[in-house]
């Protein structure tokens, strides 16, 4: 199940599903230590002797964000109960508090007692063992904890706190969980349990006919009981409504801090642009790591998630934020990469937000037992490339100088030296799709861009010898791409090439959307070069998904989440790469029409809340794989910014870009 709402502040990240149920809670790094792990924090309602859980299909729901804010708005109506629940959910931007405001509307002509139940199932530190939970009467709260992770659950209706509680065992000896205790409307008041535990709290209140009542519920996250109690006192003192108002104001100000004139773009595209900025921002950790997705329901290879920092994905997210003017949110990403780079000058497959090495399926030896690096070389190269773009926007020379010897020099040196002796192309590594090991056009193009960036920084700092060396290496890589990867007969760039021990090479002629994109993105060829023009046209011709849904698939024969025999699935990023090319090559306003259509295509395939997934079902357009995917949202932001820069460059709109 996708996550239509993601809410965060850089250390606490919360995800809600399409039923409005809390499914993921990451603390105290984004994407690291999911203390819920996809389990449901159930919500139940009792009225007139009838009990219903919020995930019951009888509820009619709408899930979206409040306009221009990182505040959720969920509406759930149950005709049989005669009740409508409206949620405003947020993570406080200043402290680690997750808060839910629930407005309960009585649609009947008689007053009624209503009871609202919140069930918690924490798997603290991602384990179901060794947990403890207890009711604490002094604060009238329930606390879950394990070691240095403490989660205090509380709330209030009017001036009254929780009315009832129960703590018990879940997923042990056949027990489903204490949440079942709520279904008769009365809780057992069991005060403590340990091991595999859950809890339920409830609020009781009277609602007048055709009237409403408000309940606030919150989770205070701390590293000790003292810290969690202090957060509870903080929200009690200032009031949860005040925190909701200030959080809304903060994110509204953040989104609107750069004012754009979206010339010619639809309202749906503008809305998705703003939501994408907020969604991307939730995936940025306070230490600079940018994770690919917080969706824990999606499990890829070996039952693992996307909640890691892929340097490549992070670099493209940073590029999008920089392009939109949010450079203050990207500086730490490059510092993150500076701190995790290997002494030899390469970045590993992926990382966790505390800068530890993430899980990987790339082996350190080949089929014959020969050692090789388990890397995607484009990750190192892409970070260098986008670092150059980052500097060109903020001109922080002191930062560049501070990481030159620790990051820029070793990375550029590695890209230079990790090359085939005869062809001067990069040596084999895993591709950006993480599936094969060879010499890929996309990877080679990124190495060209990375080396050119290294040369740029060396020249900037007066290191002319290094600048000349890396620029020469870059031009050699470019020559190798044009000699070995370009296929003049087919009119596009091969996916990859491989050399045998006797020097004979074979070319994988599979059409791959990343090949032409890499040649464009990293500047291997000019936008009007006939080879790039042909390759982009062939990409559209050969990879457009047939049928009403459309979109561009990754490559011919892609089997990842394959739904149909004749085609792969449409990928958001691959489709937007085509739009970026159209925009960057445009000479007139009329040339931008197709790009606007692709932006509209993307907006039409977002969830109602604005969430974009990785890929789409080719027959019905349903979202597949991880959702949200930060790279999809970043590609959308980047495409809109390309568009605004282009209409400004063409003189069509002189107010589209804000003055900085």
In three-state secondary structure terms, 399 is helix
Cβ proximity of 154 and 232 under 8 Å: yes
Beta bridge partners of 195: 131
At a CB cut-off of 8 Å and minimum separation 6, what does 329 contact?
A: 281, 284, 321
pLDDT average, residue stretch 424-450: 96
**Cα dihedral sign for 177, 181, 182, 188?**
negative
pLDDT in tens, 204-235: 999 999 999 999 999 999 999 999 999 999 99
Could you tell me the pLDDT band of residue 128, with boundaries at 50, 70 and 90? confident
CB within 8 Å of 505: residues ≥ 6 apart? 484, 497, 498, 499
Architecture of the domain whose range is 304-532? Alpha/alpha barrel (1.50)
Q: What is the pLDDT of residues 583-607, one digit of tens each?
A: 999 999 999 999 999 999 999 999 9
113 neighbors 205 (Cβ within 8 angstroms) = yes
Contacts of 23 (CB under 8 A, 6+ apart): 1, 3, 15, 16, 17, 36, 38, 39, 40, 41, 296, 297
Closest-CA residue to 518 (of 407, 457, 439): 439
pLDDT in tens, 69-90: 999 999 999 999 999 999 999 9
The pLDDT value given to residue 501: 67
Distance CA 32, CA 600 (A): 34
Over residues 485-498, the pLDDT tens digits come to: 999 999 999 999 98
* Percent of the chain scoring above 90 in pLDDT: 89
Please state the domain extents for the chain: 40-254, 257-286+544-660, 304-532
Q: How confident is the model at residue 500 (pLDDT cuts 50, 70, 90)?
A: confident
Residues forming beta bridges with residue 154, ordered by sequence position: 218
Rounded mean pLDDT of 176-187? 90
Contact 104, 83 (CB under 8 A): yes
In this structure, what are the phi and psi dihedrals at residue 441, rounded to the nearest 5 degrees?
-55, -45
Q: Residue 595: name the closest of 630, 645, 659 by CA.
A: 645
Taking alpha carbons only, the member of 55, 25, 45 closest to residue 215 is: 45
DSSP category for residue 126 = G
Output the CATH code of domain 40-254. Answer: 2.70.98.10
Burial of 65 (0-12, 13-18, 19+ CB in 10 A): buried
Distance, C-alpha 254 to centroid of its chain: 18
Residue 660: band (very low, low, confident or very high) from pLDDT cuts 50, 70, 90: very low
120: nearest Cα among 233, 220, 208 = 220
pLDDT digits (tens, 9 = 90+) for 10-31: 999 999 999 999 999 999 999 9
Mean pLDDT of the chain: 94
| pLDDT over 90 (residue 102) | yes
Res. 271: pLDDT tops 60: yes
Q: Is the pLDDT of residue 302 over 70?
A: no
**Which residues are CB-neighbours of 181 under 8 A, at least 6 positions away?**
166, 168, 187, 188, 200
DSSP state of 620: T
């Amino acid at each position: 199940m996708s996550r239509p709402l993601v809410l965060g502040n850089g250390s606490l990240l919360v995800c809600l599903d399409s039923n409005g149920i809390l499914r993921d809670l990451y603390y105290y790094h984004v994407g690291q230590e999911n203390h819920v792990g996809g389990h449901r924090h159930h919500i139940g309602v009792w009225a007139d002797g009838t009990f219903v859980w919020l995930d019951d299909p009888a509820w009619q729901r709408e899930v979206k964000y409040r306009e221009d804010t990182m505040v959720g708005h969920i509406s759930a109506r149950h005709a049989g109960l005669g009740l409508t629940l409206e949620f405003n959910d947020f993570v406080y931007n200043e402290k680690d508090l997750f808060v839910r405001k629930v407005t309960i509307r009585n649609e009947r002509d008689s007053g009624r007692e209503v009871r609202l139940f919140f069930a918690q199932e924490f798997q603290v530190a991602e384990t179901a063992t060794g947990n403890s939970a207890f009711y604490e009467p002094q604060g009238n709260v329930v606390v879950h904890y394990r070691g240095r992770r403490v989660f205090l659950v509380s709330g209030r209706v009017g001036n009254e706190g929780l009315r009832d509680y129960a703590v018990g065992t879940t997923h042990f000896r056949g027990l489903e969980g204490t949440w079942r205790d709520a279904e008769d409307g009365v809780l057992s008041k069991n005060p403590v349990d340990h091991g595999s535990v859950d809890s339920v709290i409830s609020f009781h209140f009277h609602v007048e006919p055709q009237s409403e009542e408000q309940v606030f519920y919150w989770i205070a996250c701390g590293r000790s009981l003292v810290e969690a109690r202090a957060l509870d006192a903080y929200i009690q003192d200032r009031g949860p409504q005040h925190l909701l108002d200030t959080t809304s104001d903060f994110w509204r100000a953040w989104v609107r801090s750069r004012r754009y004139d979206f010339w010619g773009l639809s309202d749906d595209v503008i809305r998705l642009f703003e939501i994408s900025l907020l969604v991307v921002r939730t995936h940025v950790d306070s230490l600079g790591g940018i994770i690919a997705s917080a969706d824990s329901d999606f499990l890829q290879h070996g039952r693992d998630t996307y909640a890691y920092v892929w340097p490549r994905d992070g670099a493209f997210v940073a590029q999008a934020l920089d392009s939109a003017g949010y450079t203050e949110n990207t500086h730490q990403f490059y510092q993150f990469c500076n701190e995790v780079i290997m002494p030899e000058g390469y970045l590993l497959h992926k990382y966790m937000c505390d800068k530890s090495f993430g899980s990987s399926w790339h082996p350190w030896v080949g089929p014959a037992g020969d050692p090789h690096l388990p890397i995607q070389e484009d990750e190192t190269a892409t970070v260098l490339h986008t670092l150059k773009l980052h500097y060109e926007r903020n001109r922080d020379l002191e930062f560049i100088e501070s990481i030159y010897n620790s990051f820029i020099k070793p990375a550029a040196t590695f890209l230079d030296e990790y090359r085939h002796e005869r062809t001067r192309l990069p040596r084999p590594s895993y591709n950006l799709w993480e599936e094969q090991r060879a010499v890929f056009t996309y990877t080679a193009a990124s190495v060209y861009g990375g080396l050119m960036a290294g040369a740029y920084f060396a020249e900037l700092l007066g290191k002319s010898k290094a600048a000349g060396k890396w620029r020469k290496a870059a031009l050699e890589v470019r020559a190798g791409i044009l000699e070995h990867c370009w296929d003049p007969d087919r009119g596009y760039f091969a996916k990859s090439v491989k050399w045998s021990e006797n020097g004979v090479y074979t070319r994988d002629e599979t059409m791959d959307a990343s090949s032409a994109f890499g040649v464009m993105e990293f500047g291997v060829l000019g936008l009007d070069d006939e080879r790039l023009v042909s390759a982009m046209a062939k990409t559209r011709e050969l990879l457009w998904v047939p049928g009403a849904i459309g979109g561009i698939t990754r490559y011919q024969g892609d089997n990842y989440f394959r739904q149909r025999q004749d085609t792969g699935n449409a990928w958001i990023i691959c489709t937007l790469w085509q739009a970026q090319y159209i925009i960057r090559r445009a000479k007139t306003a009329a040339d931008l029409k197709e790009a606007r259509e692709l932006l509209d295509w993307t907006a039409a395939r977002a969830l109602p809340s604005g969430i974009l997934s990785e890929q789409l079902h080719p027959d019905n357009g349903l979202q597949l794989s991880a959702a949200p995917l930060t790279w999809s949202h970043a590609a959308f932001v980047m495409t809109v910014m390309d568009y605004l820069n282009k209409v400004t460059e063409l003189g069509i709109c002189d107010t589209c870009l804000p003055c900085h």
